Structure 1
Amino acid sequence: MSNKQLGMEKIRQVLRCYSQGYGTKSISSMLTVSRNTVKKYLQVFQRSGLDYEGVLSLSDQELSELFHEKTRVKTESERMEELKSLLPEYCKRLQKKGVTREALHREYLSSHPDGYGRTRFYILIQQHIACSRPIMHLEHKAGDKVFIDFAGDKLSIIDLDTGEIIPVEVFVAILPCSQLTYVEAVMSQKKEDLICASENALLYYQGAPSAIIPDNLKSAVTKSSKYEAILNEDFAAFAEHYGCTVIPARAYKPRDKALVEGAVKLIYRSIYPKIQEREFYDLDSLNAAIRVALELHNNTPLTDRKYSRREQFEEIERDSLRKLNPIRLNSNSITGLP
């Protein structure tokens, strides 16, 4: 029975086998002790802070006090509370490449031998994800993609000589895993401005993702298609220069572009109000103001979370981005670039 107390000599045998590298199943079979009992005593040993030699040096009375006063089976609520305290960190780590639920479960059992089995562990992980609402995060692995688009609402600069108000486009890029956002004002949606802004976004992130996802922008996609879009040659050359694949958002698939459209809505609230009441006479001064507001946006804690986009990026995404090509894009190879 799993609750049966072992004699002192049997406890020493369990620990001796464990120190020799045997697993719980093997120890249980060799000593004819239930696996749960073996787990229970090994957990007490691991939490004692003593090494094998230290435990062997204890008298029978000391050994009994160490093990038999602490071997009560944990209640369901205690096990649940222990796992709940670990779930936020586990779910965050799932966003990193190579981290799987199976690996996390093995790690969990190594420090909690009497913890939940794999199926129950997976269910609790999924329930925590659903309750904390980071579904959007977990759909995207760190360093996989950057989404790009232009905002629908334009900003403006004033011609210093004529006083004319000149509307300008607002380019937006977002890394979907960390949600770190980049915003820049440009004169047009032409390919030259798009490529320049996209390159500046990569420089801002200080790394390149595996793929760039444009929202079927004409300057990036010559012909959109439900199956295989035709890319603008110059934009494709830019992406290849930085080792990125271009995957246009699919036409009539709202979820493909929901994230960047969500980012645009957020900058309408967090950046535009700080900009629209001011006057700017060139793109440089406008973009300088945008950058100040952008840093506030990226460093403000996310709703219902204790961390910001920038903190999330530094923790889980920066190291997943590939190093940038140290050579800036050759403007002579792209028609229209200065």
Structure 2
Amino acid sequence: MANKITDMSKIRKAIKFYCNGKSKLFISKYLSLSRNTVKKYISLFEVLGLSFEIINEKTDAELELLFSHTTVESISPKLQILYDFFPKMERELKKVGVTIQHMWEQYIALNLNGYRSLQFGYHYKTWSKRVNPVMHMNHKAGDKMYVDYAGKTLSIIDKDTGEIKEVQFFVAILGASQYTYAEASMSQQKEDFVTSVENAMHFFEGTPAAIVPDNLKSAVIKSSRFEPTINETLADLAEHYQTTILPARAYKPRDKSLVEGAVKILYRRIYVNLKETKFFSLEELNQQIWDLLDGITTKFVTNFVSHCVYVSLCVS
């Protein structure tokens, strides 16, 4: 008989009880879990070396994936000290300017006989993959359109005053084909944002099943893991085009990795060609962006078709 899938909400409670000093026998009886199941997940929790707060932040799916990739094994006291250091290190690495080398220097100062920097980096990479598992996403054609703004702005010059005005760089990408659209707009305000989203759909000549924006105010009034509050203007656009809005989760960059990857490509292939040119209107700037984008798109389509022909020949 196949093993029954354990309810991760119960495992979350079991770990909480354990961290609060409850015995494994108490946890087993209170949650109606077998003692072996309680022992197994508490052992896995100890091997991971994470705090309950970090465990509690993960969804049930992430938690199940995390535990399924973790094995209980005998580790040396030296390696256990290293694992105990990693949760703090992971928090510190989110701060500006903090590097793995900097954290190794802190570690080795406290543990003179500890691991050298190369081994330290290797063990951290292994540990990080285990506690932050990545699930491969399969994108269906026409399923999602990811939208975002690039971090770097562009600029136009006012003909009358000579004033240089910063403008925003909007990017949209289709999940399955990675077909990309870009344009400049005057701001990230909801009116400009909704116009850019609509322009992207006209460019793609179709409406996706869902639009995935970042948690910017033009799209999401209040972010939430379960029921984010969508900006009314964007919600009206979605209703008009019979699509839906699925905001990326806050502080989850992997949710929008496709569009961030597209932004990096556009930085290299469009920004480089624009930085030495002066533009005196938004229309003029956008025309140049679209001309450059057309060259990228032509190359993409050629490569995509060649790949499909190659796969077809291999299959046949």
TM-score (norm. length: structure 2): 0.53
Q: 2:286, 2:306 → 1: CA distance? A: 23
What amino acid sits opposite 1:222 in the alignment? Answer: I
1:209 pairs with 2:204: no
Instruction: Note the residue ranges of structure 1 that are not aligned, 5 or more in a row.
Output: 1-134, 314-338
TM-score (norm. length: structure 1): 0.49
Mapping 1:122-161, distance limit 5 Å:
139-161=138-160
Mapping 1:1-338, distance limit 5 Å:
139-301=138-300, 307-308=303-304
Partner of 1:3: none
What amino acid sits opposite 2:253 in the alignment? Answer: P
Partner of 1:42: none
RMSD of Structure 2 on Structure 1 (CA): 2.3
What amino acid sits opposite 2:279 in the alignment? Answer: F
Kindly indicate whether the alpha-carbon contact (under 8 Å) linking 1:138 and 1:177 is maintained by their aligned counterparts in 2: no
- What do the CA deviations read for 1:299-332 (whole angstroms, capped 9, x no partner)? 2248xxx624x9899xxxxxxxxxxxxxxxxxxx
What amino acid sits opposite 1:307 in the alignment? Answer: N
Cα gap change, 1:282 to 1:289, in 2 (>3 Å): same
Kindly indicate whether the alpha-carbon contact (under 8 Å) linking 1:222 and 1:232 is maintained by their aligned counterparts in 2: yes
Cα distance, 1:274 vs. partner? 1.3
Cα gap change, 1:243 to 1:311, in 2 (>3 Å): farther
Higher relative contact order (CA 8 A, sep 6+): 1
Q: 2:252, 2:177 → 1: CA distance? A: 23
Cα distance, 1:252 vs. partner? 2.1
Cα distance, 1:137 vs. partner? 9.6
Q: 3-state SS of the aligned residue for 2:279? A: coil
What amino acid sits opposite 1:193 in the alignment? Answer: D
Cα gap change, 1:311 to 1:171, in 2 (>3 Å): farther
Kindly indicate whether the alpha-carbon contact (under 8 Å) linking 1:149 and 1:215 is maintained by their aligned counterparts in 2: yes
Q: 3-state SS of the aligned residue for 1:212? A: strand
Q: 2:184, 2:252 → 1: CA distance? A: 27
Q: Which runs of 4+ in 1 moved over 3 A?
A: 135-138, 310-313
Partner of 1:9: none
What amino acid sits opposite 1:175 in the alignment? Answer: L
Cα distance, 1:294 vs. partner? 0.5
Q: 3-state SS of the aligned residue for 1:148? A: strand
Cα distance, 1:191 vs. partner? 0.4
Partner of 1:55: none
Q: 3-state SS of the aligned residue for 2:296? A: helix
Cα distance, 1:136 vs. partner? 10
What amino acid sits opposite 1:238 in the alignment? Answer: L
What amino acid sits opposite 2:158 in the alignment? Answer: D
Q: 2:307, 2:280 → 1: CA distance? A: 35
Cα gap change, 1:312 to 1:153, in 2 (>3 Å): farther
Cα distance, 1:138 vs. partner? 6.5
Q: 3-state SS of the aligned residue for 1:199? A: helix
Name the larger-Rg structure: 1
Cα gap change, 1:263 to 1:136, in 2 (>3 Å): farther
Cα distance, 1:254 vs. partner? 2.0
Cα distance, 1:282 vs. partner? 0.5
Q: 2:147, 2:229 → 1: CA distance? A: 17
Q: 3-state SS of the aligned residue for 1:278? A: coil
Q: 2:307, 2:239 → 1: CA distance? A: 27
Cα distance, 1:251 vs. partner? 1.1
Q: 3-state SS of the aligned residue for 2:250? A: coil
What amino acid sits opposite 2:222 in the alignment? Answer: K
Cα distance, 1:276 vs. partner? 1.5
Q: 1:136, 1:175 → 2: CA distance? A: 19
Q: 3-state SS of the aligned residue for 1:271? A: helix
